[in-house]
Amino acid sequence: MIGPSVTQVLRPFVDFSRIPEDVLEYAAWRGTEVHRLCSIYAKGLPIIGEIKPSCAGYFLSFQQWFDLAVEKAHLVEAELEDPTYQYHGHPDLICTLRGDPGMTLIDLKTPITESPTWRGQIAAYARLAEVNNHPVIRCGSLQLKQDGGRAKFREYKRDGRDFAAFLAALTAQRYFK
């Protein structure tokens, strides 16, 4: 594993200071558990054991979206490295969506509101996909619904600005560490 992770690079730009520590810890646990369940499902493996009620709606939201939208999963939670810029990350899903001619990178999200760091994160993941021979034609976030409702795909256009912002954060991290 080379360099910092995408998450480590962007962490200083996410402000959780107004969120009580216990709420933050629980949300982090829930997000990890939801990602685990979705990863298992996307790989076509059976879910073993009980799904916690706090995760069930998010998982149902993903499951319904996946069954409707995904033709083929190519990579699920794979660790990828960029030897040029020296960072790594774990894109949640690289898949072919039904009717699309190429691959799409999907980053799963459980928060209700979009974070300013999502664009940079997904641009960094898209670069990782490309340098590891998984060229994506689309990329975006998939906001899962707590109540099991319809997941919302937010596509990000790739104009270079989001990746430039990520590289600026990477440079700053290296300079100050």
The confidence score (pLDDT) of residue 18 equals: 84
Q: On the CB side of 127, how many CA atoms lie within 13 Å of its CA?
A: 24
Q: What is the pLDDT of residue 17?
A: 82
Task: Check residue 101 and give its pLDDT.
Answer: 96
Classify residue 159 as exposed, middle or buried by CB count within 10 Å of its CB (0-12, 13-18, 19+).
exposed
* Residue-level pLDDT at 16: 82
Per residue of the chain (177 residues), give pLDDT as tens: 799 999 999 999 988 888 899 988 999 999 999 999 999 999 999 999 999 999 999 999 999 999 999 999 999 999 999 999 999 999 999 999 999 999 999 999 998 889 999 999 999 999 999 999 999 999 999 999 999 999 999 999 988 999 999 999 999 999 998
Look at domain 6-176 and name its CATH class: alpha beta
- CA atoms of 70 and 51, how far apart (whole Å): 23
Q: Could you state, in order of their start, the residue ranges of all structural domains in the chain?
A: 6-176
